[in-house]
Chains A and B, each alone.
Chain A
Amino acid sequence: MSEEIIRVDNLTFRYNGTEVINDISFVVKKGDYLGIAGSNGSGKSTLIKNILGILEPDSGAIKIFGQPLTSFRQWQRIGYLPQRINALNYHFPCTVKEIVQLGIKNNEADLKNTLEMMGIAHLAASLIGELSYGEQQRVMLARALISKPDLLIFDEPTTALDPETRDVFYSLTGEINHKGTTVVLVTHDTGIIGKYASNLLYLDKKIIFFGTFEDFCSSPDMTGFFGLDSQHMICHQHDKTGNNT
């Protein structure tokens, strides 16, 4: 039986009294690639922030790598790519090297390998604020990867990327997952995520669907909820990868 990487039990979170997440439970296992989708305000980013301990749930329990989140200390096992880095809106005085090594010590070889893997070795001495958004995302991905995490969490990483860069980014996440890293990715790109993700969690404050893409694509309930066209749109890329729905 695969190791449980994330376990969420009966999680509820309120913001200023308004319920944002309502009693949700799910499990992410080792090697999974979970796509989390839902409309704006459905609680996707809030869920991620609860899992990472940035926000404190009103009720429910979260375990990471089998440990309660409240006592979890092995943060180097998690790589996180936030939705937006405020510092990148202006010229933050940090080189790519400084950002990627943030919190990592004496790791020149790993730094070199990670920068090369991301195709940004030539930018090591450049200031992060001087790079294009696509390059900045590669830098942030390199930062998330350098500690060789067992779990990667992305919060809408492709929002401001052009379609070509976005496809390259998704492809990278797929490769990383194939090498054994568990991936959790929040996205609006429901038409693309099926190509890479094994499981889908569809949120609208509560769970609308949680399971494999195969189950999602063959579920009459989901056809009823989304309509046939939308369901096909989500499943289209998954079909193209040769998966049987």
Chain B
Amino acid sequence: MELSNILNYEFVQRAFVAGILIAAVSSILGVFLVLRRFSLIGDGLAHITFGSVAVVMLIGVSPVYITLAALPLVMLSSLAILKLTHSRRIPGDAAIGVVSSVGIATGIVLASLSNGYNLDLFSYLFGNILTVTRIELLLSFIVFLAVVATLIFFYDDLLAVTFDEELAQTMGVKTKRINIILFLLTAIAAVLAMKIAGIMLVSAMLILPALTALQLSFSFRITILASVIFAVLSVICGLLLAFLLNLPAGGTIIIINIVFLLCTFGAKKILPAKR
């Protein structure tokens, strides 16, 4: 089938639009998460999403609303990670590990209790961008607007907290509020990214574009912009390649992301340092 014919299908168009929106959201949040050494929060939240999806499937929620129904649990878990991180009793990476274990263990146990929905549940492990529903598309658009608005209105606060949380506090920044906003948006992004890349590759959607942009040693604003460009290009190239070569879309998108990262590593080696 011709590529132009494929692009005429509504579900393909939905996949492109949702993919671009979710990639943009993940890549913006990713810059803040990577710099604050919360890179693995995507993994943790993806595992929680697995458990949450298992719970809502067991309850019998219609497949159309599963993403929406899983959101509250994932958002609560994200806040739990934040709370544990600041408790000073558990290091941040361990906090992610604890919450992540709860999610995956719950998912496995619930899956074994009801064999009927195992197949559906495990399809979330690898994601399928072509099954993005209209509700998920709408949610992606709302989250995209929310992230852009947060970036515009709280740019200085976000930058200050990312640079040094204690210093930000002494500048009058409401660091708790900023952290809650960042973690809640990350939770929503993780749930949506699961549709594209699957549970196993959610953190790649958050980390890889940001890491690639960081290799280029730009200012903060340009780094965020570069991260978005890399993420969106990865989705477009990945989806086109997946259609042309009949490959899984999620994995292809992530491989394109990795190619971009390797290219920036190479460019950094070849090009002279600025200083």
Binding site for B on A (CB under 8 A): 16, 49, 52-54, 73, 75-76, 78, 80, 82, 85-87, 91-95, 98-99, 102-103, 105, 126-127, 130
| B213 / chain A contacts, CB cutoff of 8 Å | 93
- Asked whether, in the complex, the Cβ of A87 is within 8 Å of the Cβ of B35, the reply is yes
Give a binary string over B208-231; 1 marks a CB under 8 Å from any A CB, 0 the rest. 000001100111101100000000
Beyond A54-B166, A54-B170, A73-B172, whether A93 also contacts B156 by CB under 8 A is no
Determine the distance from Cα of A102 to Cα of B220 in the docked complex, in whole angstroms.
12
- Asked whether, in the complex, the Cβ of B159 is within 8 Å of the Cβ of A94, the reply is yes
Determine the distance from Cα of A75 to Cα of B167 in the docked complex, in whole angstroms.
11
B163 contacts A by Cβ under 8 Å: yes
Determine the distance from Cα of A82 to Cα of B165 in the docked complex, in whole angstroms.
11
Q: Which of B213-256 contact A (CB under 8 A)?
A: 213-214, 217-220, 222-223
Determine the distance from Cα of A33 to Cα of B210 in the docked complex, in whole angstroms.
44
Q: Which of B158-194 contact A (CB under 8 A)?
A: 159-160, 162-164, 166-167, 169-173
Q: Which of A54, A73, A93, A105 contacts B169 (CB under 8 A)?
A: A54
B269 contacts A by Cβ under 8 Å: no
From residue B86, how far is it (CB to closest CB) to chain A in Å? 12
* 21 A–B contacts, CB within 8 A, in A order: A16-B88, A52-B166, A52-B170, A53-B169, A75-B170, A75-B171, A75-B172, A80-B167, A80-B170, A85-B163, A87-B162, A87-B163, A91-B214, A93-B217, A94-B219, A95-B220, A103-B172, A126-B274, A127-B217, A127-B219, A130-B274
- Asked whether, in the complex, the Cβ of A99 is within 8 Å of the Cβ of B217, the reply is no
Q: Which of B159, B169, B172, B214 contacts A76 (CB under 8 A)?
A: B172
| A94 / chain B contacts, CB cutoff of 8 Å | 159, 163, 219-220
| B274 / chain A contacts, CB cutoff of 8 Å | 126-127, 130
| A76 / chain B contacts, CB cutoff of 8 Å | 171-172
What number of A-B contacts does a CB cutoff of 8 Å give?
73
From residue A160, how far is it (CB to closest CB) to chain B in Å? 16
| B275 / chain A contacts, CB cutoff of 8 Å | 126, 130
| B166 / chain A contacts, CB cutoff of 8 Å | 49, 52, 54, 82
- Asked whether, in the complex, the Cβ of A103 is within 8 Å of the Cβ of B164, the reply is no
- Asked whether, in the complex, the Cβ of B217 is within 8 Å of the Cβ of A103, the reply is no
Q: Which residue of chain B lies nearest to A99 when distances are taken between CB atoms in the complex?
A: B163
- Asked whether, in the complex, the Cβ of B163 is within 8 Å of the Cβ of A92, the reply is yes
| B31 / chain A contacts, CB cutoff of 8 Å | 93
Closest 9 CB pairs of A and B: A75-B172, A93-B223, A80-B170, A103-B171, A52-B170, A95-B219, A94-B220, A85-B164, A87-B163
| A73 / chain B contacts, CB cutoff of 8 Å | 172
Determine the distance from Cα of A85 to Cα of B168 in the docked complex, in whole angstroms.
11
| B173 / chain A contacts, CB cutoff of 8 Å | 103
Which of B163, B213, B219 is packed against the most chain A CB atoms within 10 Å?
Answer: B163
Determine the distance from Cα of A91 to Cα of B167 in the docked complex, in whole angstroms.
18
| A102 / chain B contacts, CB cutoff of 8 Å | 156, 159-160, 163, 171
Q: Which of A16, A78, A82 contacts B164 (CB under 8 A)?
A: A82
Which of A73, A78, A85, A92 is packed against the most chain B CB atoms within 10 Å?
Answer: A92
- Asked whether, in the complex, the Cβ of B170 is within 8 Å of the Cβ of A78, the reply is yes
| A126 / chain B contacts, CB cutoff of 8 Å | 274-275
| B164 / chain A contacts, CB cutoff of 8 Å | 82, 85-87
Determine the distance from Cα of A99 to Cα of B166 in the docked complex, in whole angstroms.
15
Determine the distance from Cα of A178 to Cα of B214 in the docked complex, in whole angstroms.
42
From residue A130, how far is it (CB to closest CB) to chain B in Å? 5
Q: Which residue of chain B lies nearest to A129 when distances are taken between CB atoms in the complex?
A: B217
Determine the distance from Cα of A245 to Cα of B173 in the docked complex, in whole angstroms.
44
From residue B230, how far is it (CB to closest CB) to chain A in Å? 14
- Asked whether, in the complex, the Cβ of A93 is within 8 Å of the Cβ of B219, the reply is yes
- Asked whether, in the complex, the Cβ of B163 is within 8 Å of the Cβ of A93, the reply is no
Q: Which residue of chain B lies nearest to A102 when distances are taken between CB atoms in the complex?
A: B160
Q: Which residue of chain A lies nearest to B274 when distances are taken between CB atoms in the complex?
A: A130
- Asked whether, in the complex, the Cβ of A93 is within 8 Å of the Cβ of B218, the reply is yes
| B88 / chain A contacts, CB cutoff of 8 Å | 16
Q: Which residue of chain B lies nearest to A155 when distances are taken between CB atoms in the complex?
A: B166
| A105 / chain B contacts, CB cutoff of 8 Å | 156
Determine the distance from Cα of A199 to Cα of B167 in the docked complex, in whole angstroms.
25
Give a binary string over B262-275; 1 marks a CB under 8 Å from any A CB, 0 the rest. 00000000000011
From residue A220, how far is it (CB to closest CB) to chain B in Å? 39
| A127 / chain B contacts, CB cutoff of 8 Å | 217, 219, 274
From residue B275, how far is it (CB to closest CB) to chain A in Å? 5
Q: Which residue of chain A lies nearest to B227 when distances are taken between CB atoms in the complex?
A: A93
Determine the distance from Cα of A130 to Cα of B217 in the docked complex, in whole angstroms.
10
Determine the distance from Cα of A98 to Cα of B218 in the docked complex, in whole angstroms.
12
Q: Which residue of chain A lies nearest to B224 when distances are taken between CB atoms in the complex?
A: A93
Determine the distance from Cα of A68 to Cα of B223 in the docked complex, in whole angstroms.
40
| A86 / chain B contacts, CB cutoff of 8 Å | 164
